């Protein structure tokens, strides 16, 4: 997407999202603050996956692992009485980045279905590790005693927490937008487009892909730290493979390799879940065909539908 257009969409979208808390207050529907905050957290997770999936062609089927690591990086210190948000969220970013570095170093040497299976296997390993942590609730997980503390910024205030999440999401999208268009971004996009060619002109894609994988993991971890604060609860289920699938679906639904698309994908998917689950207990039966239809008839996702048939520029 052209730079200017991306900035415009980001500005308008950010502004629209900023209006949710006052609107929810005016309509006396505080629930929507909670719902949209949740959407933005998953939007962050989906956008981080898009960095490697859409731009880097790395089909990571274990992205929920970083979400889980980020959540535990908040929950475990909190359990031991460390409530400082900078410590918790910093730990979330570093720990999930390190995990991505290790997982990436092993998985990026493979490709295709092997890459998918290895990333999935690592995420499942972490899932079972979470279950084995009896101190921290085992497979039941544990309650977060209190939300992360950031001095005067009080996350227990729903609107304040909402705007913190919004600012983080917008910042990450701005940074992500620069990264994918930078020299660094061009290397991973070239490797996705045609790796033998990228090598033949002198790129060694491995370390660039690994760096991208690590950045995406860190961003996923940050989303996890936000999610733990959102739910005030954390369980190994954060890392379950179905969660990874859900995040991947948001990316595909919204449009791979667009950054904004996965944000739309996350919002639409969670909105559909919310609306349909209110209508029927069998909402998943209804959701499935809707999603299949979108994927079949809009190959480039919702973003492609909305943006029209413009070619992706390099």
Partner 1 sequence: MAEPLLAIRGLRKRFGGLLATDQVDLNVVEGETYAIIGPNGAGKTTLIGQLAGELRPDAGAIRFAGRDVTRLDAPRRCRLGLARSFQITSIFPDFSALANVALAVQAHAGGSFRFWRPAAGERSLTEPARAVLDSVGLGGRADVLAANLAHGEQRQLEIAMALATKPRLLLLDEPVAGMGLDESQRMVRFLGTLKGHVTIVLVEHDMDAVFTLADRISVMVYGKIIATGTPREVRGNPDVRRAYLGEEVPSPC
Please report how the helices 64-79 and 112-132 are oriented relative to each other, as an axis angle in degrees rounded to 10: 20
Query: Can you tell me the distance from the alpha carbon of 118 to that of 153, in angstroms, rounded to the nearest whole number?
Result: 40
* Cβ-based nearer residue to partner 1, 132 or 204: 204
DSSP 140-173: G-EE-SSPPBBTTB-TTSHHHHHHHHHHHHHHHH
* Minimum distance from residue 196 beta carbon to partner 1 (Å): 6
What is the total count of residues that contact partner 1 (CB under 8 A)? 29
In angstroms, how far is CA 82 from the centroid of its own chain?
A: 25
* Cβ-based nearer residue to partner 1, 143 or 199: 199
Residues of span 177-206 touching partner 1 by CB under 8 A: 178-179, 181-187, 189-190, 193-194, 196-204
Instruction: Determine phi and psi for 265, rounding to 5 degrees.
Output: -60, -45
* Minimum distance from residue 211 beta carbon to partner 1 (Å): 7
CB 21 within 8 A of CB 162: yes
Query: Can you tell me the distance from the alpha carbon of 167 to that of 300, in angstroms, rounded to the nearest whole number?
Result: 27
Residue 141 found at the interface with partner 1 (CB under 8 A): no
Count CB-CB contacts under 10 A for residue 236. Answer: 23
Residue 105 found at the interface with partner 1 (CB under 8 A): no
The single residue among 3, 5, 146, 299 that binds partner 1, judged by CB under 8 A, is 3
* Cβ-based nearer residue to partner 1, 182 or 284: 182
* Cβ-based nearer residue to partner 1, 1 or 155: 1
* Minimum distance from residue 191 beta carbon to partner 1 (Å): 10
Q: Is 197 exposed, middle or buried (0-12, 13-18, 19+ CB in 10 A)?
A: exposed
Residue 310 found at the interface with partner 1 (CB under 8 A): no
Q: Considering just the CA atoms, what is the radius of gyration of the chain in Å?
A: 19
* Cβ-based nearer residue to partner 1, 146 or 197: 197
* Cβ-based nearer residue to partner 1, 202 or 289: 202
Contact positions vs partner 1 (CB under 8 A): 3, 178-179, 181-187, 189-190, 193-194, 196-204, 208, 211, 311-314
């Amino acid at each position: 997407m052209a730079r200017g257009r991306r900035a415009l969409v980001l500005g308008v979208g950010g502004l629209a999202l900023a209006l949710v808390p006052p609107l929810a207050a005016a309509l006396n529907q505080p629930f929507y603050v909670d719902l949209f905050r949740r959407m933005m957290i998953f939007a962050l997770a989906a956008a981080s996956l898009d960095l490697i999936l859409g731009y880097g062609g790395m089909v990571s089927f274990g992205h929920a692992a970083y979400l889980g690591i980020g959540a535990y990086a908040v929950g475990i210190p909190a359990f031991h009485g460390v409530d400082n948000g900078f410590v918790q969220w910093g730990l979330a970013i570093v720990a999930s980045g390190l995990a991505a570095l290790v997982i990436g170093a092993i998985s990026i040497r493979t490709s295709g279905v092997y890459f998918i299976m290895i990333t999935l296997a690592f995420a499942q390993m972490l899932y079972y590790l979470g279950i084995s942590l009896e101190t921290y609730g085992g497979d039941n997980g544990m309650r977060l005693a209190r939300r992360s503390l950031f001095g005067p910024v009080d996350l227990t205030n729903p609107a304040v927490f909402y705007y913190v999440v919004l600012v983080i999401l917008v910042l990450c999208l701005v940074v992500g937008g620069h990264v994918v268009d930078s020299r660094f971004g061009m290397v991973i996009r070239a490797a996705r487009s045609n790796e033998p060619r990228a090598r033949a002109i002198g790129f060694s894609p491995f370390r660039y892909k690994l760096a991208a994988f690590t950045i995406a993991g860190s961003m996923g971890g940050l989303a996890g730290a936000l999610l733990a604060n959102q739910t005030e609860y954390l369980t190994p289920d954060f890392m379950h493979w179905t969660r990874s699938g859900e995040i991947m679906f948001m990316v595909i639904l919204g449009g791979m390799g667009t950054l904004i698309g996965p944000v739309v994908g996350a919002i639409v998917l969670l909105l559909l879940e919310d609306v349909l689950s209110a209508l029927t207990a069998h909402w998943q039966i209804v959701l499935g065909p809707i999603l299949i239809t979108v994927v079949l008839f809009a190959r480039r996702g919702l973003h492609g539908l909305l943006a029209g048939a413009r070619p992706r520029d390099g």
